[in-house]
Amino acid sequence: MNGQFSDQLLAWFESCGRHNLPWQQEPEPYHVWLSEIMLQQTQVATVIPYYNRFLQRFPTIKLLADADIDDVLSHWAGLGYYARGRNLHRAAKMICDDYSGDLPANKEQLLTLPGIGRSTAGAIMALAFKQHDAILDGNVKRVLCRFYAVNGWPGQPAVEKRLWQLAEGLTPEINVAHYTQAIMDLGATVCTRSKPQCDICPVASECLARKQESQDKYPGRKPKKTIPLRETVFLLLENRKGEILFEKRPATGIWGGLWCFPECSPDDDIEEWLLAKTGFSASIIKKLSIIKHRLTHFRMEILPVHLKVKQCNNVKAMGEQQWCASGDALKFGVPAPVRNLLLTMSE
């Protein structure tokens, strides 16, 4: 069964797989690593323009390691999951310090780098170094859950352990790079979350979910839980020059290391809060429409408030801050809600 599965998948990949992705053209280790990090939780079509722009700015691991984190995050802005960008930068520094700037061709060493887990390390070993190793990303989990009718949510330890056993057993000793890309492609283009195209699937004849006509049952759903709501107020403080105040967020937590507007609670009296916390005397010009934004573990409702600063008496530092024109701020690493507000303001 194992050999038949991989043979059928490889034959399908030859004629139907994706062969023109940017990172496939020059599959050197850095390119593969960068693409695998960007593809975590993000679809290929979204990744491609970010990948091209990022690689143009940071064509080598050394240049990435030497870059300022603000520069790195500005080229990551909009892609989301910003810890990936910070980890990529940290890992590049470690690679330069410990491995002379070359991504190590050793799985145990790869796993010591920030942001690289078991599946990402397996993908790098298979795609970049052509070494026998298995992967288990979201697409592969879906294919295996359906093919073997594996019950349960893949995030559960027992289910994940079973899927790793299957993934490792199916991965062939030869043509491992093509097989790895093939099973990812199958999940991304044929064995999709909804409306899988079983009629063109190369392994449909042995797929247990198809035989049971229960494709929608697999993989099992993540147990539902209430998604908390976080409400906040963005303070768009404008000085006499028409510049807006930005502050850099802490390295950890939501939007870590990115530039954002100062924030306060919806329960605060904005003008009093500003005077007490910053020393700014300001008047409200306009309250803008509430922005709804979804993050991994919670959802946000953001009220942007545009204020004009009248006086700056006894100004109190609130971390790293900078005044700049709204258009210039787009060059910084800013989260999506901030970027959208800036684009609206510049129209």
36 catalytic residue (yes or no): yes
Chain centroid offset of residue 100 CA: 27
Supply 231's token pair. Answer: 């409400």
Burial environment of residue 86 by CB neighbours within 10 A (0 to 12, 13 to 18, 19 or more): buried
Supply 286's token pair. Answer: 């306009």
Supply 213's token pair. Answer: 């006509």
CB burial readout 303-322, b (16+ within 10 A) else e: bbbbbbbeeeeeeeeeeeee
CA distances from 83 to 34, 51, 343 (A): 14, 16, 24
- Please give the single-letter amino acid code of residue 206: E
- Please give the single-letter amino acid code of residue 308: K
Strand partners, 283: 308
**Nearest in space to 288 (alpha carbons), one of 344, 240, 231:** 344
Write down the catalytic residue from 14, 36, 168, 347: 36
Residue with the two structure tokens 């042995």: 206
d(CA 214, CA 218): 7
List the catalytic residues: 36
